[in-house]
Amino acid sequence: MQLDLSGRTALVTGSTGGIGRAIAVDLARAGARVVVNGRTPKRVEEAAAGVRDETGGDVTGVAADVATEEGAAALAAAEPAVDVLVNNLGVFGPRPALEITDDDWRRFFEVNVLAAARLIRTYLPGMTERGWGRVLDIASDSAVVIPAEMIHYGMSKTALLAVSRGFAKEAAGTGVTVNSVIAGPTHTGGVEEFVRQMVGDDLPWDEAQRRFMVEHRPQSLIQRLIEPEEIAHMVTYLASPLASATTGAAVRVDGGYVDSIVP
C-alpha cells in the first residue's frame, strides 16, 4: 500500500516523545508536512529537529499548552489550517478510586477530552470547507476496560470515543473523516514509570514488563507491551486517502486486550 500524504499538513499534539513522536515520524515518512507540539519550547525544538533528521521530512514545531484556551489559540495562530489533526495529548496515572479528587477529575477531563474537542472545533470547519481532512483521537483500551486503579483516566478516554463519534456525524458527507484509535498498553517512558509503580523498582525491565502483563493486563493476547510505532502505523493509514470509507470508528491497536469481537 502506498500511504501518500504529500501536500498535506499534519498536526500531532503531545508529540515530543512516546506515541506522539512515533506518529510524527510515521506521518513525515508518508510525505506529510508535520507540526510537532508540546508545552516547552526547548523540547519542541529538539523533537522537531529529531524527527526532521530521522525522516528528512518537512517538520516544524509549535510550543503551546493546548489544554488551555490560550494555548490552543496560540497554536491556531501559528498553524491556522491543517489537513490531519492527531489529538494525542493525554495524561494518566494511578490513584485509588476513593482518593480521586475533584481537581483530578477536572484535570483529566480538561487535558484528555476538552483539549481534543477544542482543537476539532478549531480545525474541522476548514477541513470541511476544503472537502478533505482527517481527525484522529488517540484513545485507550481503558476507555472500554476501565482500570480499577485509574477510573478517572478510563472515564476521560470513554468520553473521547463519544467526542470522535459525535464529530464524525458533524462531518458527514464532507470528505472529512473522524476516528479514534484505541491504543493498548504501550511501551513509552511514562508507561515504564507506571509499570514500576505497579510491580516495584527492583526488577530488570524485561521481568518487570512480563510481571505487569501477567498481573495487571492478563487479557492481552500478544502478552507484551505494544511499541509506539505499531500505533503510529494505524494512525498513518487512517490519515491516508486509502481510509476514506472509515469514519466514526474506534479502531483497536490493543494487542487483543479488549475481549470483544467487535472492533
The closest of 124, 245, 186 to 237, measured between CA atoms, is 245
CA distance 181 to 167: 15
Q: Is 138 helix (H, G, I), strand (E, B) or coil?
A: strand
According to DSSP, the residues that pair with 12 across neighbouring strands are 36, 86
123 annotated active-site: no
According to DSSP, the residues that pair with 86 across neighbouring strands are 12, 136
Residue type at 61? G
- 248 near 165, Cβ under 8 Å? yes
Residue with cell 483497536: 252
According to DSSP, the residues that pair with 182 across neighbouring strands are 139, 252
C-alpha cell at 206: 524485561
E strand residue ranges, 66-190: 84-87, 133-140, 176-183
- 153 near 147, Cβ under 8 Å? yes
CA distances from 93 to 21, 147, 195, 217, 255 (A): 20, 11, 11, 15, 21
CA distance 207 to 229: 22
C-alpha cell at 246: 472509515
Catalytic residue among 123, 153, 237, 257: 153
Q: Which residues are catalytic?
A: 153
